[in-house]
Structure 1
Amino acid sequence: MVHKCRSLSIPTVHFKPSTSITVPRSRPGASMAGSEKTRFKDSCLTHSFLFNALKCSAKKGSVPQARRMHAYIFKSGLYNVLSLQNQLLNVYVKCKEINGTRNLFDEMPVRNIVTWNTLISGVANFGAGFRGILNLGFHYFKRMLSEMVGPDWITFTGLLRVSIELNDFEIGRQLHCVAVKLGFCMHCFVSSALVDFYSKFGLVRDGRRVFDCCLERDLVLWNVMVACYDLNCMEKEAFSVFSLMRLEGLKGDDFTFSNLLNSSTILRFSDLGMQLHSLIIRLSFDFDIVVASGLVDMYAKNGNIMDARKAFDRMVFRNVISWNTMIVGYGRHGDGKEAMRLLGEMFRGNFCPDELTLASVLSSCGNLSSSSEILQLHAFAIKNGFQTFLSIANSLINAYSNCGSITMASKCFSSIAVPDLVSWTSMIRAYAFHGLPRKGIELFEEMLWNGERPDRVAFLGVLSACSHGGLVDEGLNYFNLMTHEYHVEPDSEHYTCLIDLLGRAGLLDEAFSILASMPFDPGSDMLGAFIGACKVHGNSRLAKWAAEKLFELEPGKPVNYTILSNIYASAGFWLEVASVRKMMRDRCNHKVPGCSWIEIAGENHTFVSSDKSHMRAVEVYALLEVLARLMEEDSVL
């Protein structure tokens, strides 16, 4: 008897001599081996065996195995059995063997709707990178109609998927018209495919019309409508559809809740996320890996890293995505130590990190300047072949740059075969950060010569390099290049670099003119850069103007009172100094002290100015004295 379960039991079969065999369905290769040697007395049993063996081959997706099965069916005398031919066609399509698919299809003497649907739906699975093959879907649809074979709902769902992959809205719209004409628009699966089609093109209203016209809605259609709103950043509408779904008596599934969790994350409504969490627990979906990972992501992105960790710790089963979600969450919150510790737990749990894991941990360690951890991660990436991934290489450039190792950052950049825009930008900014503006500019010019089109971040990097190097003419040239040739609209960061560039060169009037003529009000960073330049070049009048603007912009920030007080003091306005300091005492509750950290024996030690409370304060200050002496010796040399 042939069972539709995890194993395929075959009764007595006849070889030379007679014996028996059991072939597990969970191993497609084993089914194939059995099918090559097996001889059945009953042709019906042979047909059933081959049909299930072909299903296993389709799951495995092996082209050589598909060809062996094809040859075996031909030799067995069952080649013209339509159900076997359809299943063999499905195997070739799943293996993406287009030549074998077309040859088999053309050889088939008889075709039914299953044949055409297998071919059309299979073509949709090839993806957007195979435009020529995707167009075959419509070619075969026309042939199907010319042979007087009527389409069904499977035909339309397959063709709509092809339209999405081809990014061809007009064909999809025509398919909708044909579906309406033939009466398929009321079918749940066709309606779901149409809603998905319209959502991919951003036509949410059209998708909602299709949804509203379908009188009998199943869970798939409700889920697709929720996903449509989520995909198009209409999160409130997604929850509105979910409320209607609940009124219809549907509870939802893992797909529903994963989309809603994403919507609540974007909305930044922590209360809504918690209510959703309660419902998920009540419906027992918190044991689902996808939903639980969504909960972790939702809490982490809403800034509640403690609840994210609680949700992660409650997970019964975890996969690499679950670990990545938690590690990325710690990375976003700048907790590199915990991200690194969690990576160790991941290893101990026999999970192998992927490129997303490593890139996230590298970014976290780079922000903490944890050089020893970065070296370990770099070694692991090389050992496991991850260094070829652009995301890893780019993260290594940033991490080494943040740790002060410009040489290693440069080596990582040189190891990239084909750098992308992020690679170029990361290295340009690294050179600017380390006081090597000329190298940054040379690299920017090399990037342009290689045909890479710079974006706002790339221009920010080269402007920063010009600012650090005092290269006024070059900086102004790149600013004009950005706005006039590449039509990149400058934002506050670009203007801050420009103000800093002019201010360092003592061109305060020019900097003031830009501040006054900008299309938006100057921000705190811009004003801070301008004030610093005014103080260096002794222009108390402009410094006073900028400090008062900064004071109006951020009245609750203690450092702004200090800046304004110092400017008044340098100009000799002592009454104003006293007034500002009184306002500071009255309005500001406390001033958060800035801290520094130093790495000793692989461990970071944090301290503030004149701090004696650290348990290893003596060692910290001893090392600081050594570093100060070395810097003095370097400056003398």
Structure 2
Amino acid sequence: MRDKFFQSCSCYIQIQLGFTQVLNRRQPRVQVYLTNCSSNSGKIHTNFRTYAHLLQNSIPSRSLGSHTHFNANSYMSYLKRLIHYNGHATDARHMFDKTPQRDEVSYWNRLIQSCAKSGNLKTAHQLFDKMPTRNVVSWNAMISGYDQYGLKEKVLNLFCQMVHSGVKPDQFTFPSTLRSCGFLSALNPGKQLHGYIIRTGFESNAFVGSALIDLYAKCEKTGDARRVFDEMPERDTVLWTTMIGVYAQNQFAEESLKLFCKMQKEDMKQDSIILLTVLIACGSLAALAQGKMVHAQVIKAGFHTNYIVGNAIVDMYAKCAAMKDAHRMFDRMSERDVVSWTAMIVGYIQNGYCEEALKLFQKLLWTDVKPNRFTFASTLSACANLAMLELGKQLHAHIVGVGYESVLSVESSLISMYAKCGSIDDAALVFNQIASKDLISWNAMIAGYAINGNGKEAFQLFKLMIEADMNPDRITFLNVLSACSHAGLVNEGCLCFELMRREYINLVTTNHYACMIDLLGRAGQLSEAENIVNNMHIKPDALVWKALLHACRIHANVELGERAAEHLLQCEPEEPSNYVLLSNVYAAANRWPDAAKARKLMKDRGLKTQRGCSWIHVKNRLYAFVAENTSHPLSEEIYAMV
């Protein structure tokens, strides 16, 4: 009955009376009382003040006997609850100052750890500064707290103070400090720390070794990371996972797969994380055979029911262009989240099945899974690729309804969709409504003007972008040069190209040279175009020679065309369109026998041109047409109309 009374206590007087009555009772009853009163979040700080008062004044140490230490531990536990669940760090600190155990380092450490883990770093540091003595646990508590909440510079400063104070770091100190060096890309301090680790004998510790590998990876020193890995006397699953992940994250997918094969030979246990990493590497390399082997290992290990691993398998098959396998895996998944659906939608789009992507998106809307910004952005690109303006507008309305209209990635996708569907005014309207434009949104709008033939608008927007202190990238310059080329803006294109070569030379690729050659070629300035090719700072590729050959076709310049064709066929001898382009150069100059020879050469090499395809969207259905195709049920009527 008395226990029930304690459980119902809520006011200060009741707590005092109830606790006073239990003082002479068994100690476990006090523990029950504390547990129940601490669950009342509104009164917890009052309860603890009462307990602190009673602990110091009302309970003689002789009456507690062997339970004195137990009470101190209980008291610390509830101080930690006070911090974690109620955020009363200051109250906990003041109460701690009144306890008899405040001179014991372990109690200081426990309170500091609680404050640090709950984000009360100011209170934690105040307690840390007041400590009569500090040990390695004290320093680790503060270093770990600052590391957890992203204050990496403070971590490094604390570590230096720790070393200077004469306290030796341990295996729990180094990982946080190494992570901070990696986060700050502080390679030199990281190397100095590595040397200190070797001197103190912690280089063989698996956790420290893993942190070292991660440090070098974040500083783009993959070779150094591999050396640390190779020099480890014993390598556990964590180390293997870290190193394989480093290769995968730094675009060394092939090395990632090789290391995974080596891990298998050493009969190391594989967890879901490492299999997930290897699946990503297989997708990056489009390594279907290896991906299927890893899929089999996932099933063997029992991880196939994990929806995160399932998502990685779907994504891997999609990147390997194995959409049937991807859909089979998708259908077998017992649990599908928004990542699962988005991976399938993106896979269909990347492999040219935009209509299937839209059908899958419609199915998604009938489920309980809510599309996210990536889902909407991907689906908008499918609408753009199929030029389905009405469906794009419906999707835009849905996006507004769910509140994603102000997300930059979605806004940029909306701009691209409207532009590719020919509604450039709607694209400009979306662009102008963006409060804080990023590089992607600027590029999307410039590209929109370019593909719609608005060269002047594209160039003016580029100038506004520069004035807004937004640094252009390769895509920006490519869009501007393309816009100038199709609009015949030779002077503007030359200004853009000169700016790029003068201030952004590292961004220049053969694509930009090809655009510039196309610009000059369309304007009839073939000698200037050839001069640019001859003075390129990088080796011309097939794209450059094709642009020059195309210009020769426009102006029937056979002599220059033959020189360009010679280089082009050396670069791409198996590309049939190159022979067709050369044939068209001869045809433009009325040299029909030579034109026939070029096409005969293509046929003799067993090359065939790919047929063109056009499509039309009627009543929510897409119809595709290829030359000489009679598969459509109304093909006779269609050809009769044509």
Give the TM-score of the pair, scaled to structure 2: 0.82
C-alpha contact (below 8 Å) 2:183/2:218 kept by paired residues = no
CA distance in 2, matches of 1:382, 1:573: 59
Partner of 1:467: 485
SS in 2 for 1:598: strand
1:331 equivalent among 333, 349, 352: 349
- Structure 1 residue 317, shift from structure 2 partner: 2.8
* Equivalent residue runs for 1:56-455 within 5 Å: 65-67=87-89, 70=92, 80=102, 86-109=109-132, 111-127=134-150, 133-455=151-473
Q: Which moved more, 1:170-179 or 1:445-454?
A: 170-179
Letter in 2 for 1:311: M
CA distance in 2, matches of 1:620, 1:457: 41
- Structure 1 residue 521, shift from structure 2 partner: 6.3
C-alpha contact (below 8 Å) 1:548/1:564 kept by paired residues = no
- Structure 1 residue 88, shift from structure 2 partner: 4.6
Change (3 A) 1:239 1:56: farther
Partner of 1:51: 77
- Structure 1 residue 420, shift from structure 2 partner: 1.8
- Structure 1 residue 605, shift from structure 2 partner: 1.9
Change (3 A) 1:291 1:538: same
C-alpha contact (below 8 Å) 1:365/1:399 kept by paired residues = yes
Partner of 1:6: none
Change (3 A) 1:608 1:313: same
- Structure 1 residue 329, shift from structure 2 partner: 1.9
Unaligned segments of structure 2, at least 5 residues: 20-28, 55-66
- Structure 1 residue 275, shift from structure 2 partner: 1.9
Aligned residue pairs total: 603
Change (3 A) 1:599 1:314: same
- Structure 1 residue 114, shift from structure 2 partner: 2.8
Change (3 A) 1:148 1:306: same
CA distance in 2, matches of 1:75, 1:413: 59
Q: Which moved more, 1:159-168 or 1:259-268?
A: 259-268
Alpha-carbon deviations, 1:2-30, whole Å to 9, x = none? xxxxxxxx99757348799999x9xxx96
Letter in 2 for 1:101: A
SS in 2 for 1:388: coil
- Structure 1 residue 154, shift from structure 2 partner: 0.6
Partner of 1:632: none
Partner of 2:516: 498
* Equivalent residue runs for 1:556-571 within 5 Å: 556-571=574-589
Change (3 A) 1:227 1:564: closer
SS in 2 for 1:372: helix
Partner of 1:486: 504
- Structure 1 residue 220, shift from structure 2 partner: 1.4
- Structure 1 residue 610, shift from structure 2 partner: 7.1
- Structure 1 residue 559, shift from structure 2 partner: 4.2
C-alpha contact (below 8 Å) 1:534/1:543 kept by paired residues = yes
Unaligned segments of structure 1, at least 5 residues: 1-9, 128-132, 626-637
- Structure 1 residue 547, shift from structure 2 partner: 5.2
The structure with the larger Rg is: 2
Change (3 A) 1:552 1:154: closer
CA distance in 1, matches of 2:531, 2:585: 21
CA distance in 2, matches of 1:22, 1:396: 60
Partner of 2:58: none
Change (3 A) 1:611 1:322: closer
CA distance in 1, matches of 2:167, 2:108: 18
- Structure 1 residue 598, shift from structure 2 partner: 1.8
Letter in 2 for 1:114: V
Q: Which moved more, 1:453-462 or 1:324-333?
A: 324-333
- Structure 1 residue 407, shift from structure 2 partner: 1.0
- Structure 1 residue 483, shift from structure 2 partner: 0.4
- Structure 1 residue 273, shift from structure 2 partner: 1.9
Change (3 A) 1:377 1:77: farther
CA distance in 2, matches of 1:333, 1:22: 63
Partner of 1:3: none
Report sequence identity in percent.
Answer: 36
- Structure 1 residue 75, shift from structure 2 partner: 10
- Structure 1 residue 67, shift from structure 2 partner: 3.9
Change (3 A) 1:56 1:334: farther
C-alpha contact (below 8 Å) 1:123/1:162 kept by paired residues = no
CA distance in 1, matches of 2:91, 2:349: 50
CA distance in 1, matches of 2:277, 2:419: 37
Change (3 A) 1:548 1:381: same
Alpha-carbon deviations, 1:14-53, whole Å to 9, x = none? 7348799999x9xxx9674584586889884795587389
CA distance in 2, matches of 1:215, 1:553: 49
